[in-house]
Chains A and B, each alone.
Chain A
């Protein structure tokens, strides 16, 4: 099929390309280059218009087929280019994949910009960046770390002696903060029906205070919970207090419930504790009816 086509067409295109590559084309301006391409295009289009069979071939075949008609060593050069392009795509993909390790980055003219990704129990959450300048001393050019994360403290401890340790430590704080924030957000959005008042939280999400009822419509007194996360690298609270708003001494069953809630909040993520409350309530409702 290729033989039918005016063979000059494929060779012309390829030789044009090679001529431009090997000459000092880099020194020529872009505009000049574009003009030539356009000129070549027009020549080719003229051929296409004039030779109906060529038009037929072009419609069916691919441009690469005409390169195959050209001298073999020219083909090798094209293959090298293709191999390079493929390698480039592969490397770009792997660089993207580093996001899944939690830590990725890009080299900059000043040094490096590191990206910290956060997640909680498989939920992919916010990312933060730290732009480092490679100088003596190493310094942070700018960053997107929230102001309530002790960045300066962590930097003072590790940045100059061990970049890796600095970043891993920062990762810990950011992931924990992200996780606590996620739990509080989920409580507010998914279990608002069980809360009897607004969820009170600080920006660091390590001090939470809320009131809740197990049976939203019912007669029982609401519980009051206060969760303190002293360890900023943890996503579970260190201090939990649950009280009952009733004021008077609680019956034993209430006391048992209150104590079990305290344990639950200490050992399971906040929104999961509430999910279990909601399930229990649903179960009880179905038993009653």
Chain B
């Protein structure tokens, strides 16, 4: 193996030399990154070949059952999630070892027949003593929109920026609603 590794190194150096001879010499840092990128591409291509489809399918299966468990446990079915991060650290802050990061999250899903879409922001401030994490903005869109009890706890959750309260209340509300529906159906049949 050692001999091959050595040969690889030698070849890489020779290729670099050939390149330099081929073209107008580019800026030194440009050439280095280009070489690195193409070797990275080859390496990635060959090593990814080893992650067979079967392994991926197994992993996917395991994670999907985890998802199914969480969905049953919380009563909440999350279908989509995405996030973006923005570093708000100014040079002044960096000097004082303070770091400020703004995260933007978007998630959507459903709880039985109620669908929701959330957009919220979390501001993380890290200083020497501690890390603080706070929800700075919370927007909730629900469907159906006509239900007054639903809109009530939604606006309360938005005001208090209370994510957990929103999900817990949604779950309990829908459970109660479903229970009521079943009870009425039961009596109707009779």
- B41 and chain A: residue at smallest CB distance: A63
Chain B interface size, as a band, is 35 or more
Query: Which residues of A184-219 have CB atoms within 8 Å of chain B's CB atoms?
Result: none
- In the complex, whether B91 has a CB less than 8 A from a CB of chain A is no
Query: Which residues of A49-89 have CB atoms within 8 Å of chain B's CB atoms?
Result: 49, 52, 55-56, 58-59, 62-63, 77, 80-81, 84-85, 87-88
The distance in angstroms between the C-alpha atoms of A213 and B134, with both chains bound, is: 30
Known: A81-B56, A102-B163. A123 touches B49 (CB 8 A): no
The distance in angstroms between the C-alpha atoms of A31 and B4, with both chains bound, is: 13
Contact indicator A42/B52 (Cβ below 8 Å): no
- Taking a contact as CB atoms closer than 8 A, the residue among A20, A88, A102, A104 that contacts B59 in the complex is A88
Contact indicator A121/B18 (Cβ below 8 Å): no
Query: Which residues of B144-168 have CB atoms within 8 Å of chain A's CB atoms?
Result: 160-164, 167-168
In the complex, what residues of B have CB within 8 A of residue A141's CB?
none
- In the complex, whether A21 has a CB less than 8 A from a CB of chain B is yes
Contact indicator B163/A119 (Cβ below 8 Å): yes
Q: Mark B57-99, 1 if CB is under 8 A from A, else 0.
A: 1011011111101100111101111100000000000000000
Chain A: residues with Cβ within 8 Å of the partner, total of 67
The distance in angstroms between the C-alpha atoms of A85 and B80, with both chains bound, is: 16
Query: Which residues of A101-133 have CB atoms within 8 Å of chain B's CB atoms?
Result: 101-107, 112, 114, 117-119, 121-124
- In the complex, whether B34 has a CB less than 8 A from a CB of chain A is yes
In the complex, what residues of B have CB within 8 A of residue A168's CB?
168
The distance in angstroms between the C-alpha atoms of A41 and B8, with both chains bound, is: 8
Contact indicator B14/A21 (Cβ below 8 Å): no
- In the complex, whether A39 has a CB less than 8 A from a CB of chain B is yes
- In the complex, whether B53 has a CB less than 8 A from a CB of chain A is yes
In the complex, what residues of B have CB within 8 A of residue A85's CB?
56
The distance in angstroms between the C-alpha atoms of A175 and B138, with both chains bound, is: 19
In the complex, what residues of A have CB within 8 A of residue B163's CB?
100-102, 119, 122
Known: A46-B11, A58-B38, A112-B69. A101 touches B18 (CB 8 A): no
- In the complex, whether B47 has a CB less than 8 A from a CB of chain A is yes
In the complex, what residues of A have CB within 8 A of residue B52's CB?
21, 25-26
* Chain A residues touching B, majority SS: helix
In the complex, what residues of B have CB within 8 A of residue A97's CB?
78, 81, 105, 107
- A118 and chain B: residue at smallest CB distance: B164
Min Cβ gap A170→B in Å is 13
In the complex, what residues of B have CB within 8 A of residue A144's CB?
none
Contact indicator B78/A98 (Cβ below 8 Å): yes
Min Cβ gap B39→A in Å is 9
Contact indicator B161/A122 (Cβ below 8 Å): yes
In the complex, what residues of B have CB within 8 A of residue A112's CB?
69
In the complex, what residues of B have CB within 8 A of residue A234's CB?
none
Contact indicator A122/B22 (Cβ below 8 Å): no
Contact indicator A62/B66 (Cβ below 8 Å): no
- In the complex, whether B1 has a CB less than 8 A from a CB of chain A is yes
In the complex, what residues of A have CB within 8 A of residue B11's CB?
42, 45-46, 48-49
Most buried by B among A93, A97, A167: A97
- B162 and chain A: residue at smallest CB distance: A122
Min Cβ gap A160→B in Å is 16
- In the complex, whether A248 has a CB less than 8 A from a CB of chain B is no
- In the complex, whether A275 has a CB less than 8 A from a CB of chain B is no
Contacts from B to A (Cβ < 8 Å)? 1, 4-5, 7-8, 11-12, 14-15, 18-19, 21-23, 34-35, 37-38, 41-47, 49-53, 56-57, 59-60, 62-67, 69-70, 73-76, 78-82, 105, 107, 118, 120, 122, 132-136, 138, 160-164, 167-168
Residue pairs across A and B with Cβ atoms less than 8 A apart, 30 shown, are A16-B46, A21-B49, A42-B8, A42-B11, A58-B38, A63-B45, A84-B57, A85-B56, A93-B81, A95-B63, A95-B67, A95-B70, A97-B105, A100-B164, A102-B163, A102-B167, A102-B168, A103-B73, A105-B66, A105-B69, A105-B73, A107-B65, A112-B69, A114-B73, A121-B162, A123-B133, A123-B135, A124-B122, A124-B135, A167-B73
CB-based closest 6 A-B pairs: A122-B161, A102-B164, A17-B49, A97-B81, A45-B11, A122-B135
9 other A-B residue contacts (CB within 8 Å) besides A34-B1, A118-B164: A17-B46, A26-B52, A42-B4, A52-B21, A91-B64, A106-B66, A107-B65, A171-B168, A175-B164
